[in-house]
Structure 1
Amino acid sequence: VVGVDLSGTSLEKAQGLAERAGASIEYVQSDVYAAPEALGGRTFDLVYTGIGAICWLPSIERWAQTVGRLLRPGGRLFIRDMHPVLGSALAMRVAEDHPDRAQQPWITGPGSVAVALELPYFEQPEGVVWDEEVSYAGEDVVVQPRSVEWNHGIGEIVMAVLRAGLELTLLEEHDSAPWEALPGVMVEDEHGEWRLRDRPERLPATLTLAAVKPV
């Protein structure tokens, strides 16, 4: 098992967890796009990309090509990550009534908080810049509070995987995410998954994709 991450601090934490668990894991510090070279050209049976990974990558195409290089024939890709619809959403208070609410009373009314698509859905050359005093990892003040995120549409993700020579075996959308992505409008279930408090069927929060490299 080999783990790759850009952050040396994250890898130190991961190494400590692995040692406490008695797991033998090799950790390599590298830019994701440079992983094939950093790993010496080795190939693997499985490439796993976890929650909150691809939003830091400016090119989903380069990510998929990298995955293709890391897999040996018959090897599998598995990813669960934020759905691009959630990536484009913000929770905002509604100022005006919608004319269709007379027919569809479940439409969010004035004064209430609604989910609005305000951020890019499709991959853009320039990412969305955030300046925040704390990170999602905890409450400690961060030294460099600026981060840049990129969203990638479903079609962009799927086609990038196919163009990398992989065969799609699974694509599912889920109405929940393992973090409170939209504070104030989501509730947590007994499994630690968060979904919209009202009408969760409105929002695809995460996606799961699996693919295989042909033999």
Structure 2
Amino acid sequence: MYTPNPADWRESNRRRWDERVPIHLASDYYDLAAFRAGKDPLRAFERAEIGDVTGRSLLHLQCHIGLDTLSWARHGAARVVGLDFSEPAVEAARGLAAELGLTQDRAAFVAADVYDAAEAVPDSSYDIVYTGVGALCWLPDIRRWAETAASLVAPGGFLYLAEFHPLTDVLDDATGTRIEHDYFARDPWVEDGPGGYADGDAVTVHNRSVEWQHPVGEVVTALARAGLRVDFLHEHDVTLFRRFAALEPRDGLYRYPATSPRVPLMYSLKAGKPRA
């Protein structure tokens, strides 16, 4: 149900994510054995849209256990830094980096709130500031996020965002074929359910979560006001999991059947900072 902003939103979310770190590490969803063996969890459109990262520095905001962050290092980034508010997640990411033989000069991880990133990360600017899928819904203030992220983009560098499309939040939960919710909702969505996307049967204690819906226009406007120039906004007809019963698996992703009308399920954007 929708409620006024709860004062405990950050701590509730942190406790939920902290508890789920060991569940995620053991899950088939993240499949750490395959990752250790070289499997790339990055989406093909992300690799294509970001391009060659060889020799560049990359900051990953809200990095969770660091699989995407470390993948960019595998793709040749000279230095990657991951930031997440969950200390267990950051510790797991550091452990994975060590397993891969990446020193802190190549891959560093910081435990801090994303709004405090400018003060928490080791460098003042990065060639690429990256935010992966499923991050923005945990933040109440997108304008503050955009200002923080933009401040960390080096002149001539860019921010890249890949996210679930907020249009999916207005569709009915069962089939994803009917509009049932308000696209412009501003109050947080408070839930209290066990398990999670990586293991729906996991027994969990810290189940309260607080999330926000951010229309695409709000995100783009916030980045523009923060001084970045939007180079592209792409919408994608695929998603990472079977959110709606109507979706079908294909090539490791999910989409509507070819006979059904399509709606955007994810989006990505790139926004650059002009050189001084």
Q: 1:13 maps to what in 2?
A: 92
5 Å matches for 1:145-164? Answer: 145-164=207-226
TM superposition shift of 1:16: 2.3
5 Å matches for 1:167-178? Answer: 167-178=229-240
Q: Deviations over 1:77-109 (max 9, x none)?
A: 1111110101332334xxxxxxxxxxxxxxxxx
Which segments of structure 1 move beyond 6 Å, counting only runs of 4 or more?
none
Q: Deviations over 1:152-191 (max 9, x none)?
A: 1111111111001000111100011112222x2211112x
User: How far apart are the structure 2 equivalents of 1:114 and 1:35?
Assistant: 36
User: How far apart are the structure 2 equivalents of 1:116 and 1:195?
Assistant: 16
Tell me, what secondary structure is at the counterpart of 1:33? helix
Query: Which amino acid in 1 is paired with 2:215?
Result: G
User: How far apart are the structure 1 equivalents of 2:124 and 2:210?
Assistant: 30
| 1:200 to 1:75, Cα distance in 2 relative to 1, 3 A | farther
Higher strand share: 1
Alignment identity in percent? 40
5 Å matches for 1:6-155? Answer: 6-23=85-102, 24-39=106-121, 42-92=124-174, 113=175, 115-122=177-184, 124=186, 126-138=187-199, 139-155=201-217
| 1:119 to 1:147, Cα distance in 2 relative to 1, 3 A | farther
User: How far apart are the structure 1 equivalents of 2:249 and 2:214?
Assistant: 26
TM superposition shift of 1:203: 1.6
5+ unaligned residues in a row in structure 2: which ranges? 1-79
Query: Which amino acid in 1 is paired with 2:140?
Result: P
Contact 2:83–2:110 (Cα < 8 Å) also in 1: yes
User: How far apart are the structure 2 equivalents of 1:131 and 1:208?
Assistant: 29
Q: Deviations over 1:31-73 (max 9, x none)?
A: 1111101126611111000000001111111111111111121
TM superposition shift of 1:117: 2.8
Q: What TM-score comes out, normalization by structure 2 length?
A: 0.65
Higher helix share: 2
CA RMSD of aligned residues (A): 1.8
User: How far apart are the structure 2 equivalents of 1:63 and 1:200?
Assistant: 36
Which structure would you say has the larger Rg? Answer: 1
Q: 2:265 maps to what in 1?
A: 205
Query: Which amino acid in 1 is paired with 2:212?
Result: W
User: How far apart are the structure 2 equivalents of 1:43 and 1:114?
Assistant: 40
User: How far apart are the structure 2 equivalents of 1:55 and 1:131?
Assistant: 16
User: How far apart are the structure 1 equivalents of 2:270 and 2:258?
Assistant: 30
Q: 1:104 maps to what in 2?
A: none
Query: Which amino acid in 1 is paired with 2:208?
Result: R
Contact 1:72–1:213 (Cα < 8 Å) also in 2: yes
Contact 2:83–2:121 (Cα < 8 Å) also in 1: no
1:188 and 2:249 aligned: yes
User: How far apart are the structure 2 equivalents of 1:79 and 1:148?
Assistant: 21
Contact 1:120–1:151 (Cα < 8 Å) also in 2: no
Deviation larger for 15-24 or 72-81: 15-24
Contact 1:85–1:205 (Cα < 8 Å) also in 2: yes
User: How far apart are the structure 2 equivalents of 1:41 and 1:117?
Assistant: 44
Deviation larger for 154-163 or 34-43: 34-43
